[in-house]
Chain A
Amino acid sequence: MTAVPSKALASLGSNLVRIWGFDAATQRWQLYDPLTPSLSDLTFLLRGHGYWINVTMAQTLIYGGYSYPLQPGWNLIGWVVE
């Protein structure tokens, strides 16, 4: 199962501000911003990778049988879903 940000984070709705990932292979940051999807270059959430996720309110993200409790502001999470 490939985690596309727009689908994997859909349950957060408008609570999601944006999510950043770091691609160690290219040494570049990748962004998914729901407000500017055309400028977003984070296309997949990969298992075993860490992501900085910003939400406006506390919420638990549930995806693929895993839950990620998120606090308002920036959260650093490890993506465990295949």
Chain B
Amino acid sequence: MSFEQVTLGLAITAIILALLSIVLVVLFFIIQTNDVKQAAKERSKFSEDMHGLLGEIRGKVYSTQEQVLQQYDKVLDAFIQRSSQEISQKTTPLIEDVQRLVDETIKKEPRTEQVKAQELAEIKRRLNILSTSMVGIAQSSLAQSSVEIKMQGLLPPHRFHGTVTIDSKLAPDGTPVFALADSSLWSAGARTLAGHYTLDVLSSGKPLVGKQITFMIGDLFAQETAVWQMGANTNLDLSARTR
């Protein structure tokens, strides 16, 4: 074997080794890039899941708070209206009775201390009856107001159903959907299944009639809105964009 042949063999071997090295380096970078992409994908998915979960928790907290506050407000309003009327109607005869007794007592001729004490005791007794009656009427009025408000909550809801899309793609299973009116939540959260949702928006009486309903898909606002109607059943496809 000549010197030239050995040199050529070595040169070819070196070139092959160099090419192999380049291929290995390229493969390494490809694998690395794929790993980075995969990691980014997982991070994005995790972040999406967390956003969804946070949205859901936030929704539940708002929903509970609002429902409790609205319930108390309504009971209080109803109580104030009802109690002032009822107390006035039902205690007027008692008040007049006490007034009459006081007037009669004042008109009487001078009496013994014993008689005076008896008269005063009678006035006190009637005032006690009046006071007890007022408390009783207020209690009964409050209970009645509470029952009435609960009954108002038994109006049939407005049911919405349809598809849910985010960035023109069907929302993944389990995506929460909520309804809002006047910046408050008015529905128990529904979850999508096969890109569809069914949501009952409940009213606690008159407040929602004719009001505009907006929808949330997770923590995104849907582009569509609707007007609440008692007992309606509406097909409404919801869509939202992430940017």
Q: A residues near B, CB below 8 A? A: 18, 20, 22, 28-29, 31, 33, 35-36, 39, 52, 54, 74
Contacts and interface: CB of A to CB of B under 8 A. Distances in A.
Interface in B109-166: 154-157, 159, 161
Interface string B178-218: 00000000000000000000101010000000000000000
B159 A31 contact: yes
A28 B198 CA distance: 13
Contacts of A35: 233
Given A28-B200, A36-B161, A36-B235, 7 more contacts: A20-B157, A31-B156, A35-B233, A39-B161, A39-B198, A52-B156, A52-B231
A26 to B, nearest CB: 11
What bracket does the count of chain B residues touching chain A fall in? 10 to 19
Given A29-B157, A52-B156, A20 B198 contact: no
B231 A74 contact: yes
Interface of B: 154-157, 159, 161, 198, 200, 202, 230-231, 233, 235
Contact of A33 (B155, B157, B200, B233): B233
Contacts, number: 31
B230 A29 contact: no
Contacts of B154: 22
Nearest to A76: B154
B161 A20 contact: no
Contacts of A39: 161, 198, 233
Contacts of A28: 200
A20 B232 CA distance: 10
Contacts of B202: 29
Contacts of B198: 39
B139 to A, nearest CB: 27
Contacts of B233: 18, 31, 33, 35-36, 39
Among B154, B202, B233, chain A packs the most CB atoms within 10 A around the CB of B233
Contacts of A20: 156-157, 231
A20 B156 CA distance: 6
Nearest to B159: A31
Nearest to B230: A74
A35 B159 CA distance: 14
A54 B161 contact: no
B193 to A, nearest CB: 13
Among A18, A20, A36, A54, chain B packs the most CB atoms within 10 A around the CB of A20
A67 B155 CA distance: 23
A22 B157 CA distance: 10
B60 to A, nearest CB: 15
A73 B233 CA distance: 14
Nearest to A54: B231
22 contacts: A18-B231, A18-B233, A20-B156, A20-B157, A20-B231, A22-B156, A28-B200, A29-B156, A29-B159, A31-B156, A31-B159, A33-B233, A35-B233, A36-B235, A39-B161, A39-B198, A39-B233, A52-B155, A52-B231, A54-B231, A74-B230, A74-B231
